[in-house]
Amino acid sequence: MSSAHPEKIIYQKGDISVTRSLLKYKNIQYHIRDIYSLKRVEQKPDTEPLDRILTVGVMVAIVSFLSRSLLGIAIGVIIIAFAIYQLNQLKSTYTLIVTTNKGDEINITTGNNNELNDIHFAIETAIDMLAYGT
């Protein structure tokens, strides 16, 4: 009598799960044995518009200081504070690109680098388990 045991889950969070033999992402299953490569990409946010706003704020503050305009200085400082606040809110996004030998490319993207590390490690662990029969 054969008893079918469900595979141990190495990683599971949201719409991603990894077992010894399967990567499941957005309800699509990919066999671990078919994974050809893993590549990580960091997408840094575009800061150019905020850099320009910051520059304008500094220029307004300097010109206002030189012309002794308290209102202008205040406006410049507000612009600078706004730009700095917005720059601090920007975050990188991280993508793990999983390619299979069947031509599939799975892009797993998150704003949390630690979460992507966990996913990457889980897939590598599954590959190792499959390769070494553990």
Does the pTM of the predicted model rise above 0.85? Answer: no
Query: Quick check: 3 pLDDT over 50?
Result: no
pLDDT, averaged across the chain: 91
Domains held by the chain: number: 2
Give yes or no: residues 85 and 97 share one domain.
no
pLDDT, residue 78, reads: 97
Per the domain annotation, does 27 fall within a domain? yes
Per the domain annotation, does 4 fall within a domain? no
Give yes or no: residues 20 and 35 share one domain.
yes
Query: Quick check: 133 pLDDT over 80?
Result: no
Residue whose C-alpha is closest to residue 123's, from 27, 35, 5, 14: 35
CATH of the domain at 21: 2.30.29
SS3 113: helix
Q: What is the mean pLDDT of residues 42-68?
A: 95
pLDDT, residue 67, reads: 93
Give yes or no: residues 83 and 69 share one domain.
yes
Task: Give the phi and the psi of residue 24 in degrees, each rounded to 5.
Answer: -115, 120
Query: Quick check: 60 pLDDT over 70?
Result: yes
Per the domain annotation, does 1 fall within a domain? no
Per the domain annotation, does 67 fall within a domain? yes
User: What is the span of the domain harbouring residue 70?
Assistant: 48-89
Q: Which of 1-15, 40-54, 67-81, 90-104 is least confident?
A: 1-15
Give yes or no: residues 101 and 82 share one domain.
no
Are residues 106 and 25 in contact, defined by beta-carbon separation less than 8 angstroms?
Answer: yes
Bridge partners (DSSP) of residue 109 are 95
Per the domain annotation, does 123 fall within a domain? yes
pLDDT, residue 1, reads: 40
Positive/negative CA dihedral, 120, 123, 124, 125: positive
pLDDT, residue 6, reads: 63
Give yes or no: residues 64 and 126 share one domain.
no
Q: pLDDT tens-digit profile of 70-108?
A: 999 999 999 999 999 999 999 999 999 999 998 889 999
Give yes or no: residues 97 and 128 share one domain.
yes
The conformation of residue 1, written as its DSSP 8-state character, comes to -
Tokens of 119: 């996913």
Are residues 40 and 94 in contact, defined by beta-carbon separation less than 8 angstroms?
Answer: yes
Give yes or no: residues 80 and 97 share one domain.
no
